[in-house]
Amino acid sequence: MTELLKISLPDGSVREMEPGSSPADVAAAIGPGLAKAALAARVNGELRDINRPFDCDSELALVTSRDEEDALELARHDYAHVLAEAVQNLWPGTQITFGPATDDGFYYDVKAPETREPFSMDDLPAIEEEMRRIIAADKPLKREVWSRQQLIDKWESDGETFKAEWARELPEDEELTVYWSGDDWLDMCRGPHLASTGKLDPQAFKLMRVAGAYWRGDQKNAQLTRIYGTGWLNKKQLNAHLTRLEEAAKRDHRKLGREMDLFHLQEEAHGSVFWHPNGYRIWRQLEAYMRRKMDGAGYREIKTPQVMDARQWEQSGHWGKYRENMFVIPDEVPNTEDEGDLVSKDADWMALKPMNCPAHVLVFKQGITSYRDLPIRLGEMGCCHRNEPHGALHGLMRVRQFTQDDAHIFCTESQVVEEVRAFCKLADQVYRDFGFKYEIKLALRPEKRLGSDADWDRAEQELRDAVAEAGMANEAYGWEELPGEGAFYAPKLEWHLTDAIGRTWQVGTIQGDRVLPERLDATYVGEDGEKHRPVMLHRAIFGSYERFIGILIEHFAGRLPVWLAPVQAVVATIVSDADDYAKEAVAKLEAAGIRVDSDLRNEKINYKVREHSLAKVPHLLVVGKREAEEGTVAVRTLGEKDQRVISLDEAIDMLRAEATPPDLRGG
């Protein structure tokens, strides 16, 4: 008699099933509603196809649309395959490569036939229509195990040179799988997939754009076309996403940066920012704010060199692990007499610093440090350079030159938890001052790392304990642990901010590092008179000023709080008879510490209102003959329909209160 399989369900019950049965059979046995709703299954924790037979006794959790993370991953993976099939149906001879799911959709890299130009935006409507036809056909998605040679033969016979190249590199001892869409199209894929194309909602996806891509990400290889799409479980989710994209486009910091005259970028300094006076006013306000917070928390500010010898970077470990992202400089004067020997092969190398930590260790090492001196908190508004790939650069969000609100705390083992707890409270104050909600994540040890397991055990637990003591290791703060996502030298706490339209930004971090003090021989004299290694806590709150300003611009849609606004008020005249009064008002506002401009141009007031609204000036103080006679101003506040007439003194008091940074307000 054949022994039945024991399938354990999340509610603790056990179903006995015939060998060869699948999660779909279990769902059908429970009821027709679940059979219809089940999209896939987690079998012993592994996400699998709903129709894939069990291998043995198993723990089973059925996946439905309520399991949104898994369901979206499956749907987006399927949309990518349907996209590739559609393109090949429409243009036979198209070569396919790979197409993964992404955070909000999917893409697929394809090579157009030689008989036509690369694919463009004009092709997307036809591709979408063919995708809908494939979905409506409800084609079963069937998994098969193939040998490597079968894959090679298949791709070579179909003229799929990219797939054949990849197949030749696959290990023979690994289970290699393909997925059929019906009986006429397949792709090699690990899966899993939905049961059929009809499980996708034909109204829940949209192709968004095309871009150039290189085979295997190498610009020396063939150029491909990457077709991007967004995919969801239903049309309502798609529409909500498209609305978010529209709102994000309105808030794009690059667009608002131009309208508000904050900064610009250009090829002559690609990856670096040209700050205009208005933009640099925001920077200076943030810098002053952060200095006050750091001074109040016992940090001592330092300034370290931009360029350091490569031997320092070798000792710290960055030269071996990070050199391709560093800007390096030969430490030798070029020989201009012989153009064939502009740089000597024997030149010593220097590098622009990509981070501040090794330099801070060198400051710490000056003189003899006693345990009584600890903790030592060294802060720096440190300018760093990283050779980011050209295609990765994005406005203020990803640059090559940036300035961090960086600091390093050198402390004893027994001080770590308290220092991290205090930092948690400091970060909380800062983010609340800017109106952000946030979540805290703990990024744990990666597979490739430096340091002993014992050190990692201790460092990870210290961070857990500190967040718990700060009262933040709970659901209210989105507490979560992220296996494998720590730095190679230390675990880290991450602060993920949520902006006004629901996007998250990873900004602040603190890391407990025992590796760098060892590599750079940092020591202090303990109570026993012996040398000991300090623990080094790397920490930042803004992260980089550039990126944080970009986040603020988008979060507030350019309507920055008055204390941050580069121009806090404009005094605008209706008639030239009010010019003298306007100048007097500006002088009084400036004397009160308000950043104010005047607009005395011979233009209609509605034109002035539109122009200053576009520049996101918080308050427009309109004055005419009556206001000049009565000593009043008509206040038009950005975003409000109505204006109100108040005395100039009242306006000054109002602006002075709103212009005060939150950390300097009483009460």
Q: Helix 648-659 crosses helix 579-591 at what angle (to 10 degrees)?
A: 40
Instruction: Report d(CA 383, CA 405) in Å as an integer.
Output: 9
Instruction: Name the catalytic one among 76, 408, 539, 619.
Output: 408
Instruction: Name the catalytic one among 406, 428, 499, 513.
Output: 406
Going by C-alpha positions, the residue among 550, 540, 546, 660 that lies closest to residue 595 is 660
Strand, coil or helix: 599:
strand
492 is catalytic: yes
For residue 432, what is the enclosing H or E element? helix 416-433
Q: Which tokens is 18 given?
A: 């015939």
Question: CA–CA distance from 490 to each of 354, 371, 374, 458, 521 (Å)?
Answer: 18, 23, 21, 11, 17
Residue with tokens 């005249």: 573
Instruction: Name the catalytic one among 48, 88, 201, 357.
Output: 357
Question: CA–CA distance from 612 to each of 127, 371, 577, 593, 627 (Å)?
Answer: 44, 57, 21, 20, 20
Query: Residue 506's beta-bridge partner residues?
Result: 496
Instruction: Name the catalytic one among 538, 539, 608, 619.
Output: 538
Contacts of 505 (CB under 8 A, 6+ apart): 496, 497, 499, 551
Which runs of consecutive H residues, i.e. helices, occur in 562-647? 579-591, 605-614, 625-630
Instruction: Name the catalytic one among 88, 95, 285, 404.
Output: 404
Contacts of 12 (CB under 8 A, 6+ apart): none
Residues 200, 79 contacting (CB under 8 angstroms): yes
Instruction: Name the catalytic one among 377, 386, 464, 619.
Output: 386
Going by C-alpha positions, the residue among 47, 626, 597, 43 that lies closest to residue 281 is 597
- For residue 654, count CB atoms less than 10 angstroms from its CB and return exposed for 0-12, middle for 13-18, buried for 19 or more: middle
Q: Which tokens is 208 given?
A: 């968004």
Residue with tokens 């309208």: 259
For 79, what's the count of Cα atoms within 13 Å in the CB-facing half-sphere?
31
357 is catalytic: yes
Please say whether the dihedral angle defined by the alpha carbons of residues 211, 217, 223 and 227, taken in this order, is positive or negative: negative
Neighbours of 488 (CB within 10 A): 15
For residue 459, what is the enclosing H or E element? helix 453-469
Q: Which tokens is 462 given?
A: 């210290």
Which runs of consecutive H residues, i.e. helices, occur in 184-334? 235-251, 253-259, 277-296, 310-316, 318-322
Which runs of consecutive H residues, i.e. helices, occur in 470-604? 515-519, 545-555, 579-591
For 12, what's the count of Cα atoms within 13 Å in the CB-facing half-sphere?
0
Strand, coil or helix: 618:
coil
Q: Phi/psi of residue 4, each to 5°?
A: -75, 150
Q: Helix 545-555 crosses helix 277-296 at what angle (to 10 degrees)?
A: 110
Instruction: Name the catalytic one among 353, 492, 619, 636.
Output: 492
Query: Residue 230's beta-bridge partner residues?
Result: 105, 206
Q: What is the 3-state composition of the chain as percent helix, strand, coil, each rounded to the nearest 5?
A: 40, 25, 35
Type of residue at 113: P
Instruction: Report d(CA 537, CA 513) in Å as an integer.
Output: 6
386 is catalytic: yes
Which runs of consecutive H residues, i.e. helices, occur in 252-327? 253-259, 277-296, 310-316, 318-322
Residues with catalytic roles: 357, 386, 404, 406, 408, 492, 538
